[in-house]
Structure 1
Amino acid sequence: MGRKSNVLLLCSFGFILCIAKLALHSHYPNIESFSKKNLQYYVDSPSCKMPKSNPFSADIMKVFKKKHFKECSTDNDLVLSEFDPELRQYRLYIDDGIFEKLSKKVPNATLRCQYQVIGRNKSASYPDKDFTLSDPRPLNQSFLVPKDIDFLSTQCYAVNGKKEIKLLQEDGFLFVQDRLSHNTKNPEGDRPDEESKPNVIILGIDSTSRLNLRRSMPKLHEFLQRPGWFEMQGFNKVGENTIPNLLAMLTGNAEEKAMAQSRFSHGGFIDKLKYIWQRFKNYGYQTAFGEDCGKINTFNYNKPGFKKQPVDYYLRNFIVALETILKTRREFGNVFCLGRKLGFKYIFDFARQFMQRFEKVAPVFGIFWSNSFTHEDFLGATALDKVFWEYLLVYDALGFFNRSIVFVLSDHGYRYGVTRQNAKSGYLEERLPMMFIYVPPWFRKRYPQYVENLRTNQNRLSSGFDVHMTLHHLLQLNVTSMSKFSPNLRASQCRGCQSLFFELPHNRKCSQAGIRDKWCSCEPIETVTNKKHITKVALEVVRHMNQHLEDRNLTEICENYTLKKVVHMDRKIPVTDESVEDDELHTYVISFYTRPTLAHFEATVQWNTHKKSLIMKVDEISRLESYKKHSKCTNDPVIKKYCICIPF
């Protein structure tokens, strides 16, 4: 079927509108029609046609190469941690057999171990960026950890008399201490509210698209096909990087205006936001948040972080301490090993302890997020696959999935690098992160309509604001429609967004899901081939960028741009025809290089065919390669994207 036939089928407002569409097409004949591609869709409705992409397309596979996981240490643990169920307390003990093996090259040596308590420095100006560390204390053969200690580090030396000969091992240990007051003699008895207050667990992997999951993590993907798991294939990101997308889920507001106004740099601003974990806490839940890679944590990268500890169990200061006091190793562009242990494992061991500690005594809400493998390298996911899969197997064997609603998700796909620069699917990969929801057998039996709605919603357009409403719904599962939700609980940035346990509208637009045009994946694209027109648009884009530098008084620190070349320019194909006037505005996605430094940009712009003029927001431009070394003259996360710092 040709382009003109497609237009005729799409027309729904009479003969005059159809004639206008056909005339417009003849005005721009040099366009490769998307209809020739026989596209299939993740979402296929009159208002949203989200194209499917092949995870194993040739342009991706030519740069795809599996990476191998490298252990941080092959030594057995000299100091081990175990939980004493009778005392409900942790105990550290030393394995003498391991000492004998480690000390073979140190004749006549004896063992001396010590520990230091790690804490949160509440008196610091920015407590999230600091930690406290006690003086060393002797660590005996069997040490019962006091309940007021959450984190500590250990050091074990081979000594001769008082002389330290060799540091054998140093490690970090975390403890999820149960500080609840138990009124019953048997705190391990069944919880009476297991179904009315299910555990809610969010397991997040940064920068992972649904396509790269299939390509790079086949074991994980296979696990997520088990009964009870539902993939939201129409899940579309709402902001550029991690923080707006997580805030949409956690607060119902992506706070992009606040970021543009640099309010996140003000101490205390982050604390003032209304997080969903606060509501779970009010409902009697124990709450936890852990994230690896301290320097790029969601609430701390170029931000002061939380002044007050935001949840009951918070891993931030422990990770900052370990990155400071232990020897680290970098892989995939990030801190990978914290001493002898993988940073990722600290996070997911924390998740295991948290769920295990309260499984019989209290409901839990936890967010456990990893950046280490995937934030800087889309191939890092290939090394993560087995590690993550093994943790899910452990959680399953311990019965955690029987009691929990579980989200396995990402914030967005890979935003720069080879997938964005070279792959045709990179545009969609960035916008379509993985999103899976698990509901246990009892939930499927008790709420069959919710399950049926989840199944339907797999191929409906959804966003992080819907996830936010779903989290609210989990605290009031007896509410059977959005009309019965309190207005105070609605996502403030998307009042029409709703719980994923209710059927999403079939004919939903991105604006109705809180997704701005720049990020919307509902419109197929067609490649523009008219070189003269492409050059005209590209030069206007660069002119707008230079004007923007002047308007923001950045010309003293940022270089002016000149156009080097255009990689490609695509036009978004409107899937609805609401007015003839819309035909004057064409939405283009243009990928281009500029001088100096061959900076690679992508811009979503509107071109007025009547006025021959451009509409664009330079602050929303995307940078398709890493720009760390070229943007050191500013800490503003928005300006960093497009500022090429003038060398001094």
Structure 2
Amino acid sequence: MSLGRYVFVFLLCSIEFLLCIAKLSLHSHYSNDGKTSHNKKFFVNGPSCKMPQMDPFSADIMKFFKRRQFRKCCTDKDLVVSEFDSDLRQYRIKIDEHLAEQLLKKFHNATLKCTYQVIGRNKKSSFPDKDFSLSKAQTINQSFVVPKTIDFIFTQCHAVIEKTEVKLLQKDAFLFVQDRLEHRQKDPEDPPPDVESKPNVIILGIDSTSRMNLRRSMPKVHKFLQRPGWFEMQGYNEVGENTLPNLLALLTGNAEEKAKLNGRFRRSGFIDKLKYIWQLFKQNGYMTAFGEDSGKINAFDNHNPGFKKQPVDYYLRNFIVALESILKTRREFGNVFCLGRKLAFKYLSDFAMQFMQRFQNAAPVFGIFWSNSFTHEDFLGATALDQVFLEYLLLCDKLGFLDRSIVIVLSDHGYKNGVSRQRSKSGYLEERLPIMFIHVPPWFRMRYPQYVENLKINQNRLSSSFDLHLTLHHLLQLNATSMADFSPKLQASQCKSCQSLFFQLPYDRNCSQAGIGEKWCSCEPTETVTNQVLIKKVAREVVRHMNEHLRNRNLTKLCQNYTLKKVLYMDGKLAPTDDSLEDDQLHTYIITFDTNPTSAHFEATVQWNMERNTLTMNMDELSRLESYDKHSKCTRDPIVKKYCICKSFK
């Protein structure tokens, strides 16, 4: 062999050796004690998932953080009040005669006239979820017993002189969770309801709330959730971009992303055909309820027609839609906050409390109570919710619901736009790591110690709403000893390897095995890219793909083309295992950038081939980091809205 060939082989071996050292150097960041060589800690620290911990009080977010004051919706007293008559098992409406007398003093010879109208679901409407019915006004007599056929009413009280209404004194609305079960006379020797075989299941949702923002904004609630019996799933990762896919994964075992992309959710009746977990609870003798405190920003009706048929036994939807129409509203934190004299959230919490109270000695209950009003549009809104939500939890505890129920406090995702996403590096992970706490009562902890031990372990394992879906199934068959005891029909259709949180999750689990796509996966720590030449190459190629996508979807007549304005930063994902480094040329980057027109603020997760200088990205997964409603009014498609800057926008 010639000297030149020896030199060539030596150089080739040297290059391969240096590449090997580079790989080892990259992975020497990680160790098995939960820390890196830079003393970095992790929420999840398995071979296939390294989910970095973050400081909720880091300087980049705290410079925008400010506690918001909670302002009451009214300061006057209730003229009309609602009570539950435990003997009749019916609600009673009363008029505060002393207050009425005081109010009528302002009017000479005036009398009080109070009326009610029944709010219902307009079954004749093409879109019943977006509508309501309102009956003719009926006079309220003192101590009016509400018929069991009535769930919601709207009341008005006027000062009247000779049949002429001279002054509206007060408007209000009331909800009644009516007990329509058949009740026989109970024998004192009858055993109490067996809550241990069919425990109550209560899900309390706070929209757009990350684990970090809970600690930052709601310290009182966070302290309550540290009590015995509560377990925080610190590795709980979102599976989709907004509320709908994350809630569908929980309720149906399928995020239905393909159905969302091809527009099937915009077809009337589509969501009615899905199989929801509440249907299975209903078949097992449970009473079911679902409520949200916002009519316009909600899970199933936002840009979609909603349910044609009422999906559960007790449904708050039409009541809230009605109140947003017939009562004076006040907006706070970017959303409808007050419905007349009461908090929108107060109607939701009353609905939840009545539901739990009505059936506590009669039937098991399954309820989902979801709040959007404080937190959906403003991550600082959670600061005003802290005391209100704490009182909600304390009342649940005082009334004994926590002793009888499995209670889950969770969110769909963290905050998706605004300063927490635009100005904070931690915002990327905050969006992907929502809160998820599960409470098991004392009797459960005594009867199922292994399940409790598994919950403790699973707190620091990667989990998703597909796992939570199967946990709900598990509550209907608590004698199951492994996932093999579950019918194949019950498996989460989008994640066949997912499992109940009462069974130990795998230590070496990766995002794919938890049903979490690459875009949303928080298992790979990142490093900031400093190579400006590479950053510009990737950014220009991303913008080229965006414009090409507009052409391919025939959107160029509707939407404006983009030009790159500036790159804020680009991070590279660090693979947690050596197996992920087989292709040294393929790198995953998260790039945050602004475009013209309108200084639109985007984030894209892309794959870049270093050898070919080519890029792969999914435009439908592009994230918009600021509110874009005013820019995208020319389209109703929720996917297109994210990236369309309408030509009609000025």
Q: Is the 8 A contact 2:193 2:363 kept in 1?
A: no
Q: Distance in 2 between matches of 1:104 and 1:424?
A: 61
Deviations 1:597-647 (A, max 9, x none): 000000000000111100101110000000010010111111100100002
Deviations 1:422-477 (A, max 9, x none): 01110010000000000000000000000000010000000000000000000000
How far off is 1:122 after superposition?
1.0
Q: Is the 8 A contact 1:190 1:360 kept in 2?
A: no
Mapping of residues 69-468 of structure 1, within 5 Å: 69-185=70-186, 191-468=192-469
Matched, 1:20 2:7: no
Q: Distance in 1 between matches of 2:581 and 2:428?
A: 28
Identical-pair percentage = 71
Counterpart residue number, 1:49: 50
- One-letter code of the match for 2:530? T
Counterpart residue number, 2:487: 486
C-alpha change, 1:400 and 1:164, in structure 2 (3 Å) is same
- One-letter code of the match for 2:250? M
- One-letter code of the match for 1:280? F
How far off is 1:269 after superposition?
0.4
Q: Distance in 1 between matches of 2:403 and 2:25?
A: 60
How far off is 1:98 after superposition?
1.7
Matched, 1:561 2:567: no
Segments of 5+ residues of structure 1 without an aligned counterpart are 1-14, 28-33
How far off is 1:36 after superposition?
6.5
How far off is 1:18 after superposition?
6.9
Q: Secondary structure at the match of 2:633?
A: coil
How far off is 1:495 after superposition?
0.6
How far off is 1:580 after superposition?
5.0
C-alpha change, 1:424 and 1:187, in structure 2 (3 Å) is farther
- One-letter code of the match for 2:81? L
Q: Distance in 1 between matches of 2:105 and 2:484?
A: 71
Q: Secondary structure at the match of 1:390?
A: helix
How far off is 1:101 after superposition?
3.3
How far off is 1:24 after superposition?
7.3
C-alpha change, 1:501 and 1:544, in structure 2 (3 Å) is same
- One-letter code of the match for 2:639? V
Counterpart residue number, 2:619: 618
Counterpart residue number, 2:644: 643
Q: Is the 8 A contact 1:251 1:275 kept in 2?
A: yes
Deviations 1:350-406 (A, max 9, x none): 000000000000000000001000000000000000001001111110001111000
Q: Is the 8 A contact 1:405 1:437 kept in 2?
A: yes
* TM-score normalized with structure 2 length: 0.94
How far off is 1:20 after superposition?
2.9
Q: Secondary structure at the match of 2:638?
A: coil
Deviations 1:265-298 (A, max 9, x none): 0111000000000000000000000001101121
- One-letter code of the match for 2:574? I
Q: Secondary structure at the match of 2:547?
A: helix
Deviations 1:165-205 (A, max 9, x none): 21111111110111111234369976432110000000000
Q: Distance in 2 between matches of 1:188 and 1:439?
A: 29
Counterpart residue number, 2:3: none
Segments of 5+ residues of structure 2 without an aligned counterpart are 1-13, 27-34
Matched, 1:520 2:521: yes
Mapping of residues 467-506 of structure 1, within 5 Å: 467-506=468-507
Q: Distance in 2 between matches of 1:486 and 1:90?
A: 43
C-alpha change, 1:156 and 1:262, in structure 2 (3 Å) is same
Q: Distance in 2 between matches of 1:528 and 1:282?
A: 54
Deviations 1:452-508 (A, max 9, x none): 000100000000000000000000000011111110000000011000000000110
Q: Distance in 2 between matches of 1:70 and 1:446?
A: 44
Q: Is the 8 A contact 1:191 1:361 kept in 2?
A: no
How far off is 1:327 after superposition?
0.8
C-alpha change, 1:72 and 1:579, in structure 2 (3 Å) is closer
Q: Secondary structure at the match of 2:579?
A: coil
Q: Distance in 2 between matches of 1:192 and 1:17?
A: 70
- One-letter code of the match for 1:127? P
Q: CA RMSD in A?
A: 1.8
Counterpart residue number, 2:30: none
Q: Distance in 1 between matches of 2:348 and 2:307?
A: 19
Q: Is the 8 A contact 1:334 1:373 kept in 2?
A: yes
Q: Secondary structure at the match of 1:517?
A: coil
C-alpha change, 1:159 and 1:283, in structure 2 (3 Å) is same
Q: Distance in 2 between matches of 1:198 and 1:50?
A: 33
User: Which region of structure 1 is more displaced relative to structure 2, 105-114 or 541-550?
Assistant: 105-114
Counterpart residue number, 1:6: none
Q: Distance in 1 between matches of 2:200 and 2:15?
A: 57
How far off is 1:413 after superposition?
0.1
C-alpha change, 1:498 and 1:645, in structure 2 (3 Å) is same
* TM-score normalized with structure 1 length: 0.95
C-alpha change, 1:510 and 1:188, in structure 2 (3 Å) is farther
C-alpha change, 1:268 and 1:17, in structure 2 (3 Å) is farther
Q: Secondary structure at the match of 2:153?
A: strand
How far off is 1:106 after superposition?
3.1
Q: Secondary structure at the match of 1:196?
A: coil
- One-letter code of the match for 2:304? K
Counterpart residue number, 1:529: 530
